[in-house]
Amino acid sequence: MKPPVEYRIRPSRPGAHLFEVSCTVLDPDPGGQGFSLPAWIPGSYMIREFARNIVRIEALADDKPCVLEKVDKHSWRTSPLRGVKKLVVRCEIYAWDLSVRTAHLDTTHGFFNGTSVFLAVEGRTDAPCAVTIDRPEGGQYADWALITTLPPAEGGPTGRCDFGRFVAPDYDALIDHPVEMGRFARARFEAGGVTHEIALTGRQDCDVERLCSDLARICAWQIELFGAPAPVTYYAFLVMVVGEGYGGLEHRASTALLCSRADLPWKGMVGLSDGYKSFLGLCSHEYFHTWNVKRIKPAAFTPYDLTRENHTRLLWAFEGFTSYYDDLALVRSGVIGVDDYLALLGKNLSAVMRGSGRLKQSVAESSFDAWTKYYRQDENAPNAIVSYYAKGALIALALDVQLRAGSAGRCSLDDVMRLLWQRHGCTGVGVPEDGIFAAVREVGGEGLGTRLARWLRQAVEGCEDLPLAKLLKPMGVVLEATPAGVAPVLGVKLAAGAGEPRVANVYDDGAAQTAGVSAGDVLLALDGIRIASAKALDDLLARRLAGEQARLHVFRRDELMAFTLELGEAPADKYVLSLAPRAGAAAVALRRGWLGS
């Protein structure tokens, strides 16, 4: 067996956002030992080149300085090490990115993903690892706590709240347990035989009891869906609370989340605010990944190659199906009502239908190009790409209702997920690129399964809109499309925020694009009246009719430009789902099986 690799991480200068990290290798490669830092973090499909945050790096061979040559943007190699017993590489890493993907350190708290701080040792990535996590020095940090799902080295219970030494069976595990340190609020709940903890970092007034009770129902439902026991015994939600933020990243036994303070529940909250529903949907999404993508993985990710893009055409299944189940878990566990759920579905459908990119890129292509397109969206994204999350969720919905209706409720997408779990999640065998079609064929059986596998392939490889109104009818659900309002439109989306009305996106074939208005233009006046804000534009348009001519003034960079355009009709892109008032008994039974009673 290879000797363990020993790491140590110290928040050495919180005020300067610096971690000091060392990596000790016994019996290093005599020909010269190689090291590298990942170029990306699993779950976030973009090359991020974490090594750019390394400020200083040095190597010591048996306590004497040795040459460490940089080989490429994220790899190093020592000079030959004949007879060397112990090699230590020390580096200083700058951490000032308050996101779930990298590392952050200041005098209030620290957070890191292993991908940002732990060097991989060439030839030793399958060796066991140990890491000592130190408390920052100084009295002001004496009350800092730590939370991570890394198991403590002494074999104590996972999730204890202390600095110290932790272990991981290999490098892949080491970098899949993010760590939060500081003064955070902490709460615990049990669900499905698993101890869950939630840590809230940042100023907040969350009703933690309410949050725990809602999360417990969602987690218990998901564990039951895949079948107990859950693949973990301890799970942690690491939440960074900020004024304005949204994001999450899944890990094998935890998730790192970023949320807006206002989205958290408060004591005395009546019902569920839209923000809270969206936060619960995010928690549910990342938790579902515990099965779907952390254990049921595309073959392209087994193992991950952390030096470069890992292409798969299947993110519609790993992100899209997860996006379908995230909100479905809220209604099936009884946390939200059926009306709330149908409203969420309508919102997702409207978002997909708003962009013409859906007619040009399939979700399989969108998955493959995630690295250069979905994760690097520019102003033309709505006209050029489709989201494998949002459209993938619609495909999951369409597949689920067809399995249910076609089998009179005997099978569903739940069975497909369970089959994938048994066949790939429990065994660690990656899902081949045609593996989802095969699972659908098997679950649906001769006839239905074969037909739906063929349908699914067409749906993910093609760009046609899904016939959702027709597919939802047997479930006793009515789908209607209406214009979002009666006022005419320019065919643009303005940048969010309260600043000047700047065009973020120009939709294909709209009035603005036809006239020549471009993304980045700042709107000044419509027929000589100032457009001071997005609301001012809405107010001006509300008094006009589609088909009328209008004169629009804008600044493009520092040049004043004038356009004459014909005001467009509001597109019928607001989708509303409702329960059919006179659904038959069969439809009601199918709907109950789908959404719960």
Q: What is the 3-state secondary structure (H, E, C) of 287-340?
A: HHCCCECCCECEHHHCCCCCCCCCCCCCHHHHHHHHHHHHHHHHHHCCCCCHHH
Minimum CB distance to Zn ion, residue 511 (Å): 36
Nearer to Zn ion, 6 or 319 (CB): 319
Question: From the centroid of its chain, how far is CA 191?
Answer: 23
Binding window for Zn ion (CB under 5 A); candidates: 87-95, 315-323, 549-557, 585-593: 315-323
Segment interacting with Zn ion, rule: CB under 5 A, options 124-132, 313-321, 375-383, 399-407: 313-321
User: Which of the residues 245 through 264 are near Zn ion (CB under 5 A)?
Assistant: none
Which residue stretch of 7-15, 317-325, 341-349, 402-410 sits at the interface with Zn ion (rule: CB under 5 A)? 317-325
The residue among 278 and 533 lying less far from Zn ion, judged by its C-beta, is: 278
Instruction: Provide the 3-class DSSP secondary structure of residue 595.
Output: helix
DSSP 8-state secondary structure symbol assigned to residue 41? B
Window of 85-93, 261-269, 316-324, 401-409 that interacts with Zn ion by CB under 5 A: 316-324
CB of 323 to Zn ion, least distance (A): 7
Sequence-separated contacts (24+) of 467-475 with Cβ below 8 Å? 467/398, 468/349, 468/394, 468/397, 468/398, 471/398, 471/401, 471/402, 471/405, 472/401, 472/577, 473/580, 474/401, 474/405, 474/586, 474/587, 474/590, 475/401, 475/404, 475/405, 475/587, 475/590, 475/591, 475/594
Q: Which is nearer to Zn ion, 95 or 386 (CB)?
A: 386
Residue number, 171 or 374, with CB nearest to Zn ion:
374
Select 74 or 289, whichever has its Cβ closest to Zn ion. Answer: 289
Restricting to residues 319-378, name those near Zn ion by CB under 5 A. Answer: 319
Q: Cβ 397 to Zn ion, closest distance in Å?
A: 17
Which CB atom, from 110 or from 392, has the smaller least distance to Zn ion? 392
Residue nearest to Zn ion (CB): 319
**Is the distance from CB of 280 to CB of 218 less than 8 angstroms?**
yes
The residue (of 436 and 479) whose beta carbon lies closer to Zn ion is 436
Beta strands in 183-266 (DSSP E): 185-191, 194-201, 234-242, 246-250, 254-260
- Token code pair at residue 578: 């409702």
Q: Please, which residue, 21 or 386, has the CB nearer to Zn ion?
A: 386
Q: How far is the CB of 248 from Zn ion (least distance, A)?
A: 7
Q: Residue 326 CB, nearest distance to Zn ion (Å)?
A: 8
Please give the Cα distance from 39 to 73 (Å, whole number): 9
Task: Pick out residues in 98-137 that bind Zn ion (CB under 5 A).
Answer: none
Q: Could you tell me which stretch among 236-244, 314-322, 444-452, 582-590 binds Zn ion (CB under 5 A)?
A: 314-322
Piece of the chain touching Zn ion by CB under 5 A; list 59-67, 106-114, 312-320, 324-332: 312-320
Closer residue to Zn ion, CB minimum distance, 288 or 341: 288
CA 90 to CA 104: how far, in whole Å?
19
3-state secondary structure of 207: coil
State residue 183 phi and psi, 5-degree precision: -110, 95
Handedness of CA 272, 274, 280, 285 (dihedral sign): positive
Please, what is the minimum distance in Å from the beta carbon of residue 316 to Zn ion? 12
* Closest distance of CB 390 from Zn ion, Å: 12
Span from 111-119, 214-222, 311-319, 568-576 in contact with Zn ion (CB under 5 A) = 311-319
In angstroms, how far is CA 313 from the centroid of its own chain? 17
Task: Check: CB of residue 263 under 8 Å from CB of residue 279.
Answer: yes
Find the part of the chain contacting Zn ion (CB under 5 A) among 235-243, 318-326, 407-415, 556-564: 318-326
**Closer to Zn ion by Cβ: residue 263 or 319:** 319
Which residue lies nearer to Zn ion by CB, 29 or 319? 319
Residues 6 or more apart whose CB falls under 8 angstroms from that of 205 comprise 261, 264, 266, 267
Q: Which is nearer to Zn ion, 214 or 319 (CB)?
A: 319
Sign of the alpha-carbon dihedral angle for 200, 203, 209, 210: negative
Nearest distance in Å: CB 285, Zn ion? 5
| The two structure tokens encoding residue 325 | 């189940």
Q: Which is nearer to Zn ion, 393 or 492 (CB)?
A: 393
Structure tokens at 142: 């004496």
Give min distance, CB of 365 to Zn ion, in A. Answer: 19
Taking the complex as a whole, how short is the minimal distance between the CB of residue 319 and Zn ion, in angstroms? 5
DSSP state of 44: B
Residue 86 and residue 63: Cα distance in Å, rounded?
8
Q: Which is nearer to Zn ion, 251 or 553 (CB)?
A: 251
Q: How many residues belong to the chain?
A: 597
**Closest distance of CB 322 from Zn ion, Å:** 5
Q: How many residues at the interface with Zn ion, by CB under 5 A?
A: 1
Shortest Å distance, C-beta 377 to Zn ion:
16
CB of 553 to Zn ion, least distance (A): 42
CA distance 521 to 137: 50
CB 374 to Zn ion: min, Å: 12
Long-range interactions of 306-311: CB distance < 8 A, separation 24+:
306/36, 306/38, 306/39, 306/40, 306/42, 306/115, 306/120, 307/36, 307/38, 307/39, 307/74, 307/75, 308/39, 308/47, 309/40, 309/45, 309/47, 309/371, 310/45, 311/368, 311/371
- Contact letters (x/-) for Zn ion, 34-73, by CB under 5 A? ----------------------------------------
Residues at the contact surface with Zn ion, assessed by CB under 5 A:
319
